[in-house]
Amino acid sequence: MKNPWEDIRLNDYEEHMSLDSIRQLQAMNAIMKEQFAAYDVHTAMVLGIAGGNGLEHVDPEKYRTVYGIDINDEYIKAVRDRYAFMGNVLKCLRMDVVKEAQSLPKAELVIANLLIEYIGYPAFQKTVRQTEAQYVSCVIQINRDENTWVSDSPYLHVFDGLDTIHHPIEEDALTAAMNEIGYERILQSSTELPNGKALERIDYRKRT
């Protein structure tokens, strides 16, 4: 069965996310700047990289390799074109992490923003285990109204197919899942959005 993310055009996704009534693209960019700077690591992996929002904050003097992972070929091609200036630092891979987690490379930092909602806790645990990450930084969406997890916009129906793969995610359950595989929570912060939703960033560190 084809994943519905493979049929969502990048332009539709980015236009929706950047609307003044939503502003998730802008908020995510600011969060990713902090994520890339937060830890003393030299390799990172961005799961669900979409169009590459936030990659401009990668410090080439700090990072040897940044992996961009996505299931959508169009997204991967766009990232390669937009960020060609990153040279060999950026390595883009088209992968379905639910089915192909065992093929993921290793990375010291895993960034998973608005991704866990579409793969669920067990698949995310498997993904993190495979990467052997020292740090995992996640962003999940907090919905004040449980009936409207996709924000209203002219692009709303572009996302209709996502209902089939959407998993409600809660911070306590995510932390419990991460504890099960040996990670402890070390940071939690919230960014309010104009439409009453919020982005919750939660970071974890592998226990030694």
**18, two tokens:** 């950047």
**37, two tokens:** 């700077």
pLDDT at res. 148? 59
Phi/psi at 44 (5° precision): -140, 155
pLDDT at 149 > cutoff 60:
no
Domain boundaries, the chain: 4-206
Q: How confident is the model at residue 151 (pLDDT cuts 50, 70, 90)?
A: confident
pLDDT at res. 145? 63
pLDDT at res. 169? 94
pLDDT at res. 157? 84
Q: How confident is the model at residue 1 (pLDDT cuts 50, 70, 90)?
A: confident
For residue 175, count other CB atoms closer than 10 A to its CB.
17
Mean pLDDT in residue range 36-57: 98
Q: Tens digit of pLDDT for each residue in 167-206?
A: 989 999 999 999 999 999 999 999 999 988 999 999 999 9
Higher pLDDT, 146 or 111: 111
The CATH number of the domain covering residues in 4-206:
3.40.50.150
Mean pLDDT in residue range 94-121: 97
Enumerate the H helices of 71-207 as residue ranges: 73-82, 97-100, 121-131, 171-180
Mean pLDDT in residue range 32-43: 98
17-31, 64-78, 102-116, 154-168: which range is least confident on average? 154-168
pLDDT at 136 > cutoff 70:
yes
Q: How confident is the model at residue 66 (pLDDT cuts 50, 70, 90)?
A: very high
pLDDT above 70 coverage of the chain, percent: 96
Beta bridge partners of 201: 139, 189
